[in-house]
């Protein structure tokens, strides 16, 4: 893998005395895809949200393309977040704006683009995720799968260097999960650097360059899928359980 795009070191976080993250180190190479798995409450979501400081970690160091990021400096933090895209489980589209304006407001307010240029760019991104005909609809008028695709388009419009995906398909009905998975696969083919928490075994098997098994706030197992999903490791056991629930074939 190429040079690290995003590197974090010793991320620690406690809430009300309960330790959620016990000093996690992580490095993402260019084009690399890492997948976080593990039981709920293991710290996956907290780790992802600490990686762009949506949750401020108690301690931790950040490097973007090997340049240290001072997260206590507001301007630097905003610029950092712009380059680290985030996809949420429950989409979090701006409810008062149409699909198109969800993208243009980001381009106008953050990238300071003109309204016209922003619209052109937003249309292009929405076409990419197959929503060119839904641009004028409000979030409440879109299906879950469409909402998530708008959210992905919105993140991509900011030209992120890396995407953090926090269970992007978990809130979706099975019949629309496929359309979001297709978009994610498409991104992977184009070489987008990603780290994703998911319970989708097909994604874990086929997309991951590396699997990180998280439990009780620490990465307890780490390796390529072909190592971790055959050898009687925790990861394999976990994926087998998921398979049994979802009925996916190995």
Shortest distance (Å) from residue 84 CB to another protein: 8
Determine, following the binding rule CB under 8 A, whether residue 88 of this chain makes contact with another protein.
Answer: yes
Q: How many other β-carbons are positioned within 10 Å of the β-carbon of residue 198?
A: 24
- Span interacting with another protein, options 11-19, 77-85, 169-177, 222-230, rule CB under 8 A: 77-85
E strand intervals along the chain:
4-15, 18-29, 33-37, 59-64, 67-69, 84-87, 162-166, 194-197, 210-215, 218-223
Determine, following the binding rule CB under 8 A, whether residue 100 of this chain makes contact with another protein.
Answer: no
Determine, following the binding rule CB under 8 A, whether residue 109 of this chain makes contact with another protein.
Answer: yes
Q: How many other β-carbons are positioned within 10 Å of the β-carbon of residue 191?
A: 12
Determine, following the binding rule CB under 8 A, whether residue 86 of this chain makes contact with another protein.
Answer: yes
Shortest distance (Å) from residue 92 CB to another protein: 4
According to CB under 8 A, which residues from 122 to 181 bind another protein?
137-141, 151, 154-155, 158
Determine, following the binding rule CB under 8 A, whether residue 239 of this chain makes contact with another protein.
Answer: no
Q: What is the DSSP letter of 131?
A: -
- Span interacting with another protein, options 12-20, 23-31, 85-93, 230-238, rule CB under 8 A: 85-93
Q: What is the DSSP letter of 3?
A: S
Size of the site for another protein (CB under 8 A): 33
Summary count for the chain: helices (H), strands (E) = 9, 10
């Amino acid at each position: 893998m190429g040079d690290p795009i995003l590197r974090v070191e010793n991320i620690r976080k406690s809430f009300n005395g309960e330790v959620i993250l016990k000093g996690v180190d992580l490095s993402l190479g260019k084009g690399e895809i890492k997948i976080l798995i593990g039981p709920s409450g293991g710290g996956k979501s907290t780790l992802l949200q600490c990686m762009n400081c949506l949750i401020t970690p108690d301690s931790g160091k950040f490097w973007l393309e090997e340049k240290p990021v001072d997260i206590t400096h507001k301007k630097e933090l905003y610029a950092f977040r712009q380059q680290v895209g985030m996809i949420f489980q429950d989409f979090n589209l701006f409810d008062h704006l149409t699909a198109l304006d969800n993208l243009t407001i980001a381009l106008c307010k953050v990238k300071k683009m003109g309204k016209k240029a922003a619209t052109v760019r937003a249309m292009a991104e929405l076409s990419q995720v197959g929503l060119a005909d839904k641009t004028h609809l409000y979030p409440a008028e879109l299906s879950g799968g469409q909402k998530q695709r708008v959210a992905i388009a919105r993140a991509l419009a900011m030209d992120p260097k890396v995407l953090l995906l926090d269970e992007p398909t978990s809130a979706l009905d099975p019949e629309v999960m496929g359309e979001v998975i297709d978009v994610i696969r498409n991104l992977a083919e184009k070489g987008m650097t990603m780290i994703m928490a998911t319970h989708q075994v097909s994604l874990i098997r086929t997309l991951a360059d590396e699997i990180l098994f998280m439990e009780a706030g620490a990465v307890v197992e780490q390796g390529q899928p072909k190592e971790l999903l055959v050898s009687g490791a925790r990861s394999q056991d976990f994926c087998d359980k998921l398979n049994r629930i979802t009925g996916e074939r190995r």
